[in-house]
Structure formats: structure tokens, C-alpha cells
């Protein structure tokens, strides 16, 4: 928020992560539950709106209830929009958007990029300006495939748990020196 960021989206758990060992998945679910319990009052006090997107129906009832309660508590906040992509995959999101379009009875000749954009999970949010990739990985890992079409990329060798304010500042400063063309000249 100090840097003027209004929207921040993090990839916390992918649809593919369900294939990890049961104990690890359980640990990650418990970690999210503990983080919500510990941080939600502070997030709300600071005017942060919290949202979760993904295939949340795969999450157990207790955690799903906690997520919904956190979203409800913070729904009127606007200092920062913090989006957690959880049980999320970019391809799954596109499939779900197509299913939504079909279920609405929209004819194929009426489907446009705008139609798809209106049916993805993050339809109310702006597309990301900047995608930060940690751990030196040179891939997008099935993250917001539709939304990042024109996002600037910034890669750091820093691991996610060690990524701090100084790294974010470096990424934003680098982004600020870029000329965005959106396919034009």
C-alpha cells in the first residue's frame, strides 16, 4: 500500500497441488486456516479487501466457511485488494469460463474476448500490469493465463518465503522504466 499498489494477487495453491502427498496438502490447508485466523483482523483494520478465487468447492467445509467469513468481513474495504488464488489453475479457470458461457446460452458467434473476460474468476479486477516470478523460474506455472496476456514479467532468484518489501520495490522500479506497447509500436 505504501508503494501505491491497489491490487495484489498471489498464487497460494494450484489445482495441481491436490496431487501432492495428503499430509502436505493437509499442512497447507491448516497453514491457510492459521493465517486467516491470525491476520484477518489486521487486514480488515488496514482497509484491505480479501478475495479468494479458484475451485473452492474442493476445499473442506470448515476452511471454505472461514474464507467466506474473511471475504464478507472485508468486502467494503478498498485500500488494497488482496486476491488469493487458491485451488486455482489458469487452464481450469478458462474451462470454467467456457462452461459458464455455454450455460448462459450465449451463441458462438456472440462470443468475444470481452465475453470470456466477463466469465473468468477475476472478471471484476483489472488485468495484472506486472507478474513477479520468484525462485528464478522462467515459467508462468498455469497462473492467470488469460489475464497476463500483456503483463510485464519480472523474475527474481529470491524464494517466495524470502520475498520482501525491498524485492517488491525493485520490481516496481524496474517496471516503471519499461515502455508498455500492448502489441503496438
Burial of 162 (0-12, 13-18, 19+ CB in 10 A): exposed
With vertex at residue 154, the alpha carbon angle to CA 151 and CA 156, rounded to the nearest 5 degrees, is 155
Please give the chain's pLDDT, 185 residues, in tens: 988 999 999 999 999 999 999 999 999 999 999 999 999 999 999 999 999 999 999 999 999 999 999 999 999 999 999 999 999 999 999 999 999 999 999 999 999 999 999 999 999 999 999 999 999 999 999 999 999 999 999 999 999 999 999 999 999 999 999 999 888 87
Helix (H, G, I), strand (E, B) or coil at 151: coil
Q: Give the pLDDT of residue 101.
A: 98
* DSSP H or E segment with residue 85: strand 80-88
Question: Would 142 be classed as within a structural domain?
Answer: no
pTM comes to 0.92
Cα gap 92→14, rounded to integer Å: 10
Q: Give the pLDDT of residue 182.
A: 85
What is the number of alpha carbons within 13 Å of residue 138 lying toward its C-beta?
0
User: Tell me, what CATH number does 78's domain have?
Assistant: 3.40.1180.10
Alpha helices per DSSP H over 46-164: 61-74, 90-103, 113-117
Question: Would 150 be classed as within a structural domain?
Answer: no
Q: Give the pLDDT of residue 52.
A: 98
Structural domain for 35, as ranges:
1-88
Residue length of the chain: 185
Q: Are 119 and 97 spatial neighbours (Cβ–Cβ below 8 Å)?
A: yes
Question: Would 93 be classed as within a structural domain?
Answer: no
Strands 80-88 vs 130-133: parallel, antiparallel or unpaired: unpaired
Question: Would 75 be classed as within a structural domain?
Answer: yes
Number of domains in the chain: 1
Q: Give the pLDDT of residue 174.
A: 97
Question: Would 126 be classed as within a structural domain?
Answer: no
Question: Would 109 be classed as within a structural domain?
Answer: no
Question: Would 60 be classed as within a structural domain?
Answer: yes
Q: Are 132 and 152 spatial neighbours (Cβ–Cβ below 8 Å)?
A: no
Question: Would 174 be classed as within a structural domain?
Answer: no
Q: Give the pLDDT of residue 183.
A: 84
Helix (H, G, I), strand (E, B) or coil at 7: strand
Task: Quote the DSSP letter at residue 19.
Answer: G
Cα gap 66→58, rounded to integer Å: 14
Residue whose C-alpha cell is 506455472: 141
Amino acid at each position: 500500500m505504501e508503494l501505491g499498489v491497489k491490487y495484489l494477487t498471489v498464487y497460494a495453491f494450484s489445482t495441481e497441488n491436490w496431487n501432492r502427498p495428503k499430509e502436505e496438502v493437509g499442512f497447507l490447508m491448516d497453514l491457510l486456516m492459521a493465517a486467516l485466523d491470525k491476520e484477518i483482523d489486521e487486514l480488515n483494520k488496514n482497509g484491505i479487501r480479501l478475495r479468494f478465487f479458484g475451485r473452492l468447492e474442493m476445499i473442506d467445509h470448515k476452511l471454505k466457511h472461514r474464507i467466506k467469513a474473511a471475504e464478507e468481513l472485508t468486502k467494503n474495504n478498498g485500500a488494497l485488494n488482496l486476491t488469493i488464488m487458491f485451488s486455482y489453475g489458469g487452464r481450469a479457470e478458462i474451462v470454467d469460463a467456457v462452461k459458464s458461457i455455454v450455460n448462459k446460452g450465449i451463441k458462438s458467434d456472440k462470443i468475444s474476448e470481452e465475453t470470456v473476460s466477463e466469465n473468468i474468476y477475476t472478471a471484476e479486477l483489472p488485468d495484472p500490469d506486472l507478474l513477479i516470478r520468484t525462485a528464478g523460474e522462467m515459467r508462468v506455472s498455469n497462473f492467470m493465463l488469460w489475464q497476463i496476456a500483456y503483463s510485464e514479467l519480472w523474475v527474481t532468484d529470491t524464494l517466495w518465503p524470502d520475498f520482501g518489501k525491498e524485492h517488491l520495490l525493485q520490481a516496481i522500479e524496474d517496471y516503471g522504466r519499461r515502455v508498455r506497447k500492448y502489441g503496438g509500436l
